[in-house]
Amino acid sequence: MIAMDAAALWDSPPKRVAIFRALQLGDLLCAVPALRALRAFLPRARITLIGLAWAQDFVKRFHRHVDDFLPFPGFPGFPEQEASAEDLLRFFVHARRREFDVALQLHGSGEFSNVLVALIGAKRVAGFRRDNDRRFDPSRHLVWRDDLPEVLIPLRLIEALGIPPRGTELEMPLSTKDLAQWRRLADRCRLQPYRYVCVHPGARMPSRRWPLERFAAVGRSLADDWRVVITGGASEIGMARDLAQDIGANAVSVAGETSLGSLAVLIAKSKLLICNDTGVSHVAAAMRAQSVVIASGSDARRWAPLDRERHRVLAYDVPCRPCAHYVCPIGHPCALGVSVDAVVSEARTMLDKALRRAA
């Protein structure tokens, strides 16, 4: 195996560094430890995140680690966003004008993303590659492994490039605006800190969602002792409203009413989050809040938070996991294999443990 040539990558201090990771919220939160280490290693460099359009807000929130943002319009082979030839050409023009000294591919295994990052025109490039892919310099491209927790995958490249790690903890910087939004929400919904449980039934893909009626059964089981707060985005308002009605009088939906920051505060001040394996589970990890995560379709080993005591992941093993389907074509056995009783039992165990710690 050829060692990574870290010294050559940093032979002169770079002034402009590009990070390519055009993915969703959970993916970017899992990359924060790598971004933190990179910032500490290159305190004077201008670091630009190349990502999906929504990530502009992420860059504003994480300005301690990232200075700038370049929106990515899509590329052939990328499922996250459809490619437009005109937008793509415009993107490459903007990227090349920035004259990046170094570009790091933190997006994935490199089949498509390494070609894209090469076209950005940076003087030096590093990233991941498949073991049998000889197109890319093995002294600058680390062999891809997806058998590690996601937080450790970008960190593995960072360390191979000679950058000292700065811990594996996730972060979620908050502003006074975030706190003020949460206070208004708490007053309106009569929420007392640490006297409620959050339930997040949504996920971007239906194949990642546990059945709504099972979330309702869990909510009803907990609603005698806890206020149940249903969270979700603007596209999930109807789902959250229906769930709150099914649970009953001690449930309230705040779907569509939270920003990322106020949602983070809401989860931090809850006693427990119950959710699918989606971005909100990493928000809970960043806020050091307890969670029970139901992993339907995803690679639970890879996407589970590192702290397995604070975050419990329930997954039913099936041979087709991890699933790439938007909707499961075979009846969703991975989701149906996780019972209501199992989720309720795990939730009550964690709530009781938290109450004993508080006492």
pLDDT of residue 357 exceeding 90: no
Q: Residues with Cβ < 8 Å from 111, sequence gap 6 or more? A: 77, 130, 133
Domain boundary among 90, 125, 160: 160
Judge contact between 128 and 109, C-beta under 8 A. yes
Domain boundary among 160, 185, 217: 160
Place of tokens 């009413």: 257
* Residue pLDDT, tens place only, 129-161: 998 888 888 888 999 998 999 999 999 999 999
3-state DSSP call for residue 133? Answer: coil
The answer to whether residues 208 and 85 belong to one domain is no
46: β partners: 16
166 domain residue, yes or no: no
Phi, psi of 91, rounded to the nearest 5 degrees: -60, -45
CATH number at residue 314: 3.40.50.2000
The CB-side HSE value for 310 (13 A sphere, CA atoms) comes to: 15
Phi, psi of 88, rounded to the nearest 5 degrees: -65, -45
* Residue pLDDT, tens place only, 283-332: 999 999 999 999 999 999 999 999 989 999 999 999 999 998 999 999 99
pLDDT of residue 2 exceeding 70: no
The answer to whether residues 212 and 344 belong to one domain is yes
Q: Write down the pLDDT at residue 3.
A: 58
pLDDT of residue 4 exceeding 80: no
Q: How far is CA 32 from the centre of its chain?
A: 10
% of the chain surpassing 70 pLDDT: 99
Q: Is 46 left (phi over 0), alpha (psi -120 to 50) or beta?
A: beta
pLDDT of residue 359 exceeding 70: no
Q: What CA–CA distance (Å, rounded) separates 116 from 228?
A: 45
The answer to whether residues 117 and 222 belong to one domain is no
Q: What CA–CA distance (Å, rounded) separates 85 from 101?
A: 26
* Tokens encoding 243: 């769930």
The answer to whether residues 215 and 281 belong to one domain is yes
94 domain residue, yes or no: yes
Q: Write down the pLDDT at residue 307.
A: 92
Task: For Cα atoms 72, 74, 78, give the angle at the middle one, nearest 5 degrees.
Answer: 125
The answer to whether residues 316 and 273 belong to one domain is yes
pLDDT band for 112, please (50, 70, 90 cuts): confident
DSSP for 98-121, written as a single string: T--SEEEE-SSSSTTHHHHHHHTT
295 domain residue, yes or no: yes
Q: What CA–CA distance (Å, rounded) separates 58 from 274?
A: 24
229: β partners: 198, 252
96 domain residue, yes or no: yes
165 domain residue, yes or no: no
Judge contact between 114 and 137, C-beta under 8 A. no
* Residue pLDDT, tens place only, 54-72: 999 999 999 999 999 999 9
The total number of structural domains that make up the chain: 2
Region 71-85: what's the mean pLDDT? 79
The answer to whether residues 231 and 351 belong to one domain is yes
The answer to whether residues 218 and 291 belong to one domain is yes
3-state DSSP call for residue 61? Answer: helix
Q: Write down the pLDDT at residue 70.
A: 97
26 domain residue, yes or no: yes
* Tokens encoding 196: 């409620």
Between 98 and 78, the more confident residue is 98
Q: Which range marks the domain in which residue 252 is found?
A: 176-358
pLDDT band for 343, please (50, 70, 90 cuts): very high
Region 112-120: what's the mean pLDDT? 92
* Tokens encoding 118: 């090469």
% of the chain surpassing 90 pLDDT: 84
DSSP for 298-341, written as a single string: S-HHHHS-S-TTTEEEE----TTPSP--SS-SS--HHHHTS-HH
195-205: buried (b, 16+ CB within 10 Å) or exposed (e) per residue? Answer: ebbbbbbbbbb
pLDDT of residue 356 exceeding 80: no
Average pLDDT of the chain to the nearest whole number: 93
Peptide bond into 138 cis (omega under 30): no
Q: What CA–CA distance (Å, rounded) separates 320 from 186?
A: 42
Q: What CA–CA distance (Å, rounded) separates 155 from 33?
A: 7
The answer to whether residues 99 and 127 belong to one domain is yes
pLDDT of residue 30 exceeding 60: yes
171 domain residue, yes or no: no
Q: Write down the pLDDT at residue 1.
A: 44
The answer to whether residues 241 and 93 belong to one domain is no
pLDDT band for 5, please (50, 70, 90 cuts): confident
